[in-house]
A = this chain, B = another copy of it.
């Protein structure tokens, strides 16, 4: 018997398959858990917005909850996450990227870029969290840098090397699997720099 590559032989290791509908769910789960930890410890109030849907038909059965029987997904006009931290309005989008060498720009909707630029003009802390799943690497990219790149480029993706130059590593802890507020402190409040200077 011949073991074809990827065949069903004895040696096939378990593969974590990410279906299209499940894509990005791990990062979302990790961020939600981190936000819950921030909320429980009263460090910040940041929530994921509900998925926008257009509700077409609702049944009101007697003695039970209203049931939506026809609805469609809407294109989001804003980002998924916003809230308040250290007195500042905070706004971001989060995306998982399965590719190793680049981040496809179609992952971020133009409406969302426009939204991030709008909130920045009004004084927000705005960024994108990108997780390169193959590298298990999670980065925070300030929205102004990403928007500038998107406006200037004619490419359909951002190379991974650009993220190495423009992104900041997001640490992980047991209670906050995506502990992005540590990175926010470093990038926007320069806590770390102050510590480095004083030592």
Residues in B whose Cβ lies below 8 Å from that of A122: 44-45, 84-87
Min CB distance A50 to B, Å, is: 4
Residues in B whose Cβ lies below 8 Å from that of A124: 45, 84
Across the interface, name the chain B residue whose C-beta is closest to A90: B89
How many of chain A's residues touch chain B, expressed as a range? Answer: 35 or more
0/1 string, A100-126, CB within 8 A of B gives 1: 000000000000000100110111100
Compute how far the CA of A190 lies from the CA of B14 in the bound complex, rounded to whole angstroms.
63
Give the contact stretch, choosing among A5-13, A71-79, A168-176: A71-79
Give the contact stretch, choosing among A62-70, A138-146, A158-166: A62-70
Q: Is A196 positioned at the interface, with any CB of B under 8 Å from its CB?
A: no
Q: Is there an interface contact between B84 and A45, defined as CB atoms closer than 8 Å?
A: no
Q: Is there an interface contact between B55 and A51, defined as CB atoms closer than 8 Å?
A: yes
Q: Is there an interface contact between B47 and A50, defined as CB atoms closer than 8 Å?
A: no
Residues in B whose Cβ lies below 8 Å from that of A45: 115, 118-119, 122, 124
